[in-house]
């Protein structure tokens, strides 16, 4: 993709003309997901536009999710995600779901430690006055594509050493005889705010699915209170319905 020189004063603001050209190149397949764009300096030289104008045009495409910027390595056409169909009636972990599909799992840790619980954690986990909470916050990706942000809270009693969780939380719980056997979930629609959208590599305001999960031990004790944000463009949640009795 080499943008040619242009500057048509009758076609609206110059940065929008550049925006339109790049968007058209993506739509036409001249620029494909993952392709890198020329640098700001190169684009300015090729188009005859100022670097400020080039930056404005590129920023608008980043904001709309069509381009992604990676610090240090440049600007790329956003990767296309294949929608994943996820059964809602099975209590599985992210790692198990991805492994079953033969996909790689990566987690980027945002936070991992013991804390004084917030009131909603006290209520969800049924904590006592002096109980602590283990918090695990991470961006879950598969095959290099960020799919969800997960913020899990567990009673510190069940996970006194959250920093030992590296790949799979459920694998750690299982090894300690604390694998949840039942869960309830609530799903609602959410537009992603700037921080979460950035973590997921989508445009601010893009559609997301907020999922809250409470999972239980056989004893009825809550193991996990997890709030997740899934990319709306990446998931289909499917469930089988039975005739009402």
Q: Which is nearer to ligand 16G, 206 or 211 (CB)?
A: 211
Question: Does residue 170 bind ligand 16G (CB under 6 A)?
Answer: yes
Identity of the residue, 15 or 170, whose beta carbon is nearer to ligand 16G in the bound complex:
170
99 binds ligand 16G (CB under 6 A): no
Q: If binding means CB under 6 A, how many residues of this protein chain bind ligand 16G?
A: 14
The one among 19, 135, 213, 231 contacting ligand 16G by CB under 6 A: 213
Q: Which is nearer to ligand 16G, 72 or 144 (CB)?
A: 144
Closest approach, Cβ 91 to ligand 16G, in A, equals 8
Contact with ligand 16G (CB under 6 A): which of 169, 192, 197, 234?
A: 169
The tally of CA atoms less than 13 A away on the side-chain side of residue 218 is 4
138-167 binders of ligand 16G (CB under 6 A): 150, 152
Relative to beta strand 235-238, strand 84-87 is parallel
Q: List C-alpha distances in Å: 111 to 34, 149, 162, 195.
A: 29, 12, 10, 15
Give me the least distance between CB of 71 and ligand 16G, in Å please: 27
Site for ligand 16G in 79-98 (CB under 6 A): 93-95
By the rule CB under 6 A, 211 interacts with ligand 16G: yes
Say if strands 145-155 and 182-191 run parallel, antiparallel, or are unpaired: unpaired
Q: For 122, list phi and psi in degrees, rounded to 5.
A: -60, -45
Least gap, CB of 8 to ligand 16G (angstroms): 49
At closest approach, how far in Å is the CB of 201 from ligand 16G? Answer: 18
| Residues at the site binding ligand 16G, with contacts judged by CB under 6 A | 93-95, 150, 152, 168-171, 211, 213, 224, 226, 228
């Amino acid at each position: 993709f080499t943008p040619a020189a242009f500057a048509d004063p009758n076609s609206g603001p110059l940065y929008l003309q550049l925006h339109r050209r790049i968007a058209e190149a993506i739509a036409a397949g001249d620029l494909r997901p993952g392709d890198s764009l020329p640098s700001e300096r190169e684009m300015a030289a090729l188009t005859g536009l100022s670097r400020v104008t080039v930056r404005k045009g590129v920023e608008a495409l980043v904001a709309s999710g069509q381009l992604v910027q990676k610090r240090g390595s440049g600007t790329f056409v956003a990767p296309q995600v294949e929608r994943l169909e996820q059964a809602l009636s099975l209590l599985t972990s992210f790692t198990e779901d991805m492994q079953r599909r033969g996909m790689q799992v990566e987690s980027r840790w945002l936070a991992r430690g013991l804390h004084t619980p917030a009131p909603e954690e006290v209520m969800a986990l049924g904590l006592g006055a002096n109980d602590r909470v283990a918090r695990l916050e991470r961006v879950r990706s598969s095959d290099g594509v960020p799919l969800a942000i997960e913020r899990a809270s567990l009673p510190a009693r069940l996970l006194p050493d959250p920093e030992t969780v590296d790949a799979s939380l459920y694998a750690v719980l299982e090894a300690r005889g604390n694998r949840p056997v039942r869960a309830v979930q609530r799903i609602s629609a959410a537009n992603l705010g700037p921080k979460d959208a950035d973590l997921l590599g989508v445009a601010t305001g893009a559609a997301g699915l907020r999922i809250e999960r409470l999972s239980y031990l056989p004893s009825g004790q809550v193991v996990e209170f997890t709030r997740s944000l899934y990319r709306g463009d990446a998931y289909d949640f499917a469930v089988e319905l039975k005739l009402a009795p």
